[in-house]
Amino acid sequence: MTAEEQLFSDVTTPQGRAGWAAIIADPAAALIALDFDGVLSPIVADPEQAYVLPAAVDAMAELGGRIGTLAVITGRPVQAALRLGGFAGRAGLEKLIILGQYGVERWDAATGELTTPEPPAEIQQVRDRLPALLAECGQPDLYVEDKGRAIGVHTRRASDPQAALDAITGPLLDLADELGLQAEPGRNVVEIRAAGFDKGSALQGLVAERTAGAVAYAGDDLGDLAAFDTVDRLRAAGTPGLLLCSASDEQDALRPRADVVCAGPAGIAAFLTHLAGAL
């Protein structure tokens, strides 16, 4: 086994082997969707510095000309994913699709067109009320990431990230519920956004649009569970699927459900390179 292959496990589950075989047999009909943070880029203290690993971009470019549909599905705004990913204009990624903010935004490399609706008015109320709420929680100095349509409160820079996360999660869930929004905890973060959109529905819509014959999805955090659920439903309905977990010490929810476990973004990049080679 090469050092690269040691970064990911073998495909050992029966459903995973069926998904792998279907992708290899007919790559033009396959759809591969990837989360951004923690999958293509490492989780870092400053989200604005979470650049995609060069090896991941190289692997995506290798796959781009072989796979029918290659997509990134992320909670980030599309523009942030483009800036940190270096996808635009990259050879091999001429057909890449990015679904940003859980599928609300869309960018197609083939046309360069970006579709993004106006943010819900309730998000402004979150902005207005958040400083006082964090102060009441005893966490006034947490890093707040404004995504336009969503607000993320990060605890990674706190002296005790888990204690800070415990302190803010309940109040943020209550605030979201009061405003008719959705709050989603993650790896040292709680994000508030509009309800009704998640990575599962984004993936489902793209699969239907592209009439995909096989689907692979890679994720790392709780926000990816909805996409894992979608792949499970597709498999139950007869569409082969492959689930990849970008594993970390911070979040283990996806590991027992994955067909392939990768050692973080480097492992995802290695697996994608391996897949491109198999094609």
Looking at the fold, whether 43 and 162 belong to one and the same domain comes out as: no
Q: What is the pTM of this model?
A: 0.85
| pLDDT per position as a tens digit, 10-67 | 998 999 999 999 999 999 999 999 999 999 999 998 889 999 999 999 999 999 999 9
- Considering the domain boundaries, does residue 116 fall inside one? no
Looking at the fold, whether 226 and 257 belong to one and the same domain comes out as: yes
CATH number at residue 132: 3.30.70.1020
Looking at the fold, whether 164 and 85 belong to one and the same domain comes out as: no
* pLDDT confidence of residue 196: 79
- The total domain count for the chain is 2
Looking at the fold, whether 205 and 68 belong to one and the same domain comes out as: yes
Looking at the fold, whether 139 and 206 belong to one and the same domain comes out as: no
Distance, CA of 63 to chain centre: 18
| pLDDT per position as a tens digit, 151-168 | 999 998 899 999 999 999
Residue 30: give the domain boundaries. 5-104+197-278
* pLDDT confidence of residue 254: 95
Looking at the fold, whether 31 and 84 belong to one and the same domain comes out as: yes
Number of helices (H), then strands (E), belonging to the chain: the values are 8, 12
- Residue 4: pLDDT above 80? no
Is the CB of residue 38 less than 8 Å from the CB of residue 44? no
* pLDDT confidence of residue 5: 57
| pLDDT per position as a tens digit, 164-206 | 999 999 999 999 999 999 898 888 899 998 887 899 999 999 9
Nearest to 76 by CA among 13, 159, 174, 148: 148
User: How many other CB atoms are there within 10 angstroms of residue 163's CB atom?
Assistant: 13
